[in-house]
Amino acid sequence: MLFNRVPICVAEVDVAFNQDVKSLSVGQNVSGEFLLHQLLAAESRIPVDKTGIGAGKIDTDALTQFDVGVPTRAEQQKIAECLSTLDELIGAESQKLDALNAHKKGLMQQLFPREGETLPRLRFSEFRSAPAWAVKVGCDLFANRKEAGETGLPIYSVTINDGMIPRASFDRDFYDIEDPAGNKKVCKGDIAYNMMRMWQGAQGVAAEDCMVSPAYVVLAPKAGACSDFFAYLFKLPHVLLLLTATSRGLTKDRLRLYFDDFARMRLCVPQFEEQQRIASCLSSLDDLIAAQSDQLETLKTHKKGLMQQLFPSPSQVEART
């Protein structure tokens, strides 16, 4: 387990540690597992020194002065068992999420050709006799949409990890252009990308008609281009390297991918129907990953709420001492 990002656990056997590892001896009437869970419930109140290299160090002086509410040994054991069981469930669900992400990564390596090749190692049965993937330039696949924004359309931002996200979902204020005419219109199915972060994968497909910052480039798909397919293609490591090499700038933090440069990029793509099939497969897998992630977060939230109920607050501990 992690305590403010510092590893912490209960020793199940006698062990020897190096000098950087601290240990606490518990009293005869205190369960180590119970104490661990109570410390985790109160971690925000115990300082951790995060200076220097590494995960950080728990302030052991503050830890030894920490007031602990201790019920009977039987109740300690019951609470520890309850939370440990929940931890095992969270761990199992986390492993499922890791397995899904690993499966997606491996599947993408199989469904897309390696750099310099025109055939993937895995093709769906209906496309096994189809021609090899063709090399096309960006302007054959997308046009540069430059339409001004329209009143009433929501404003979106482009993120590296989550694609296009409604501006309203961010818990912060934005001070750039809010006037529709100063933004760019994005039609449903377009790809918008941040020209300063495209080399990091900052792009996404619009789920609805919307607006984006004028600093973004909007790619309108031409006939034969499936935007969802290209959103996955642009995440491949060798394609990110190509996007980096195609961007202009003296240093990485100043790299920009202009449409004129994108238009000359050479991309290896299959026929439209195969693009759709690949995108549909990976999109279904993303839905499973999102559902699994939500399940994991629900369990973590449940555990957090349960710990708040099972352990007394600082004021309650002080009132009993």
* Crossing angle for the helix pair 272-310 and 32-41, to the nearest 10 degrees: 110
Number of residues that make up the chain: 321
pLDDT of residue 252: 79
pLDDT of residue 60: 67
Token representation of residue 107: 């599947």
Please, what is the Cα angle at 304 between 67 and 101, to 5 degrees?
Answer: 135
- The tens-digit pLDDT sequence of the chain (321 residues) is 555 555 667 766 666 777 666 666 776 777 778 877 777 777 666 666 666 555 556 666 666 666 677 788 889 889 889 998 999 999 999 999 999 999 999 999 999 999 999 999 999 999 999 999 999 999 999 999 999 999 999 999 999 999 999 987 766 655 555 667 789 999 999 999 999 999 999 999 999 999 999 999 999 999 999 999 999 999 999 999 999 999 999 887 889 999 999 999 999 999 999 999 999 999 999 999 999 999 999 999 999 899 888 887 655 555 555
pLDDT of residue 62: 65
Q: H or E segment at 135? A: strand 134-137
pTM, entire model: 0.82
What is the Cα–Cα distance from 136 to 264, expressed in whole angstroms?
Answer: 9
Q: Which residues contact residue 290 at a Cβ distance below 8 angstroms, ignoring those fewer than 6 apart?
A: none
Domain covering 134-269 assigned CATH 3.90.220.20 in the classification:
yes
Question: Would 1-127+270-321 and 134-269 be classified into the same CATH topology?
Answer: no
Token representation of residue 115: 């750099």
CA dihedral (115, 116, 122, 125) in degrees, to 10, reads 140
Which fold does the domain 1-127+270-321 belong to in CATH? Helix Hairpins (1.10.287)
Q: Using an 8 Å Cβ cutoff, are 55 and 49 in contact?
A: no
DSSP 56: -
Map out the domains of the chain as residue ranges.
1-127+270-321, 134-269
What is the Cα–Cα distance from 238 to 261, expressed in whole angstroms?
Answer: 17
Q: H or E segment at 2? A: strand 2-3
